[in-house]
Amino acid sequence: MNSNWPTAELDPVRRLRVLAGGLHAVMYADAHLDLPFTEVWAVAGDLEHELPHLVPTLRAFRCYPTSEDRQLAWAYGPLGHRARFDVLLQTGWCLMQSRYVVGGMAAVSEGSGTRFAVLGGLRQPWSTPFQRALRPLGRSRGLMMVDRAARRALVRRDRGPAEAHGDR
């Protein structure tokens, strides 16, 4: 018999699922990756170097820490436009929001691997029906992002983080 009460706390992936529901986010997906948590989160948590690899519409992401787990970030698009993001980054948990957009990533150990989740959506209340209608498409986009994270983890394992940063 186990010696603890039934676990009812939300792990980071369940937590992101709740936020996706509350935000009516167009993109939410999670999947099991056959990679250790540390390798997955080494990618997800390295926003400045890795987020442009995970999000194709992002040319660069510059971070400026404001406290232990908070950052101010500037996202640069391929055409030079930019957006300011508030970022909350903790182990296994990342939440980012600009004036119009919200994004998030979460990871939790699962067996010998990791469950990794991603979220993306618009902040405007009027966008709710629109986001709901596009959710199937958002899920496939999210799974592609999860897959890109797994591939980046393998690249960093093979070539080391410093050399992997120069891919783009």
Partner 1 sequence: MNTARAGTLRQDPAPPQVAQEDPWAAAAPLVRTAQSGDAMALNDLLSLLTPYVSRLCRPIALNNSADAVQEALIAVFQGLPRLQDPRALYAWVRTITVREAVRVARRAERETPVCEFDDIAWPRSPELAVDVRDVLRRMSTEHRAVLVLRELEGLDERSASEILNISSGTMKSRLHRARHSFRKAWPR
How many CB atoms are located within 10 Å of the residue 38 CB? 13
Minimum CB distance to partner 1, residue 96 (Å): 8
Regarding 104 and contact with partner 1 (CB under 8 A), the answer is: yes
- The sign of the dihedral angle between the CA atoms of 56, 59, 65, 70 is negative
How far is 70 from 118, CA to CA, in rounded Å? 19
User: Both tokens of residue 165?
Assistant: 């940063």
How far is 86 from 97, CA to CA, in rounded Å? 5
| Residue from the set 26, 27, 95, 153 that interacts with partner 1 by CB under 8 A | 95
Piece of the chain touching partner 1 by CB under 8 A; list 16-24, 40-48, 73-81, 151-159: 16-24
Minimum CB distance to partner 1, residue 35 (Å): 24
How far is 133 from 97, CA to CA, in rounded Å? 22
Minimum CB distance to partner 1, residue 104 (Å): 7
Strand, coil or helix: 71: strand
Strand, coil or helix: 164: helix
Which of 22/166 has CB closer to partner 1?
A: 22
- Binding-site string for partner 1 from residue 69 to residue 88, where x marks contact by CB under 8 A and - marks none: -----------------x-x
Neighbouring-strand partners of residue 70: 88
What residues numbered 24-63 form the site for partner 1, per CB under 8 A?
24
Please report, as ranges, the residues that interact with partner 1 according to CB under 8 A.
1-10, 14-15, 17-19, 21-24, 86, 88, 95, 97, 102, 104, 123-125
